[in-house]
């Protein structure tokens, strides 16, 4: 069974699927922002939103990797967030 065949009703499988979906959304938004820039539109707000999406994607990736390496379900991450998340929360 490949990683893509993981049952989405399992917490880690769901987290991995959400990450893959988010990756695709970020790539699509990057393409749209590039197209807007190519046509001379102001993309400052689009770039800011895209950066937020990238940061969120990074946090999702760390969340999944942390759960995978600890051998715990992704839901267990609520009890012990990954270091990057703790660092970002500390800055809020």
pLDDT per residue, tens digit, the chain (92 aa), is 455 554 545 888 888 999 999 999 999 999 999 999 999 999 999 999 999 999 999 999 998 888 888 776 555 555 565 666 566 655 55
Half-sphere exposure of 73 (CA within 13 A, CB side): 8
Residue 24 lies in a domain: yes
Do 67 and 25 touch, CB atoms closer than 8 A? no
Residue 77 lies in a domain: yes
Predicted model pTM: 0.67
Domain that holds residue 44: 7-91
The pLDDT value given to residue 68: 83
The pLDDT value given to residue 89: 59
Tally of domains within the chain? 1
Residue 2 lies in a domain: no
Residue 1 lies in a domain: no
């Amino acid at each position: 069974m490949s990683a893509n065949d993981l049952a989405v009703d399992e917490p880690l499988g769901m987290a991995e699927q959400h990450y893959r979906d988010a990756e695709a959304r970020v790539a699509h938004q990057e393409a749209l922002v590039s197209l807007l820039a190519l046509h001379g539109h102001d993309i400052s707000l689009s770039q800011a939103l895209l950066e937020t999406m990238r940061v969120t994607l990074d946090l999702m990736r760390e969340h999944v990797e942390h759960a995978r390496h600890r051998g715990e379900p992704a839901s267990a991450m609520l009890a012990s967030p990954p270091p990057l998340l703790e660092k970002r929360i500390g800055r809020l």
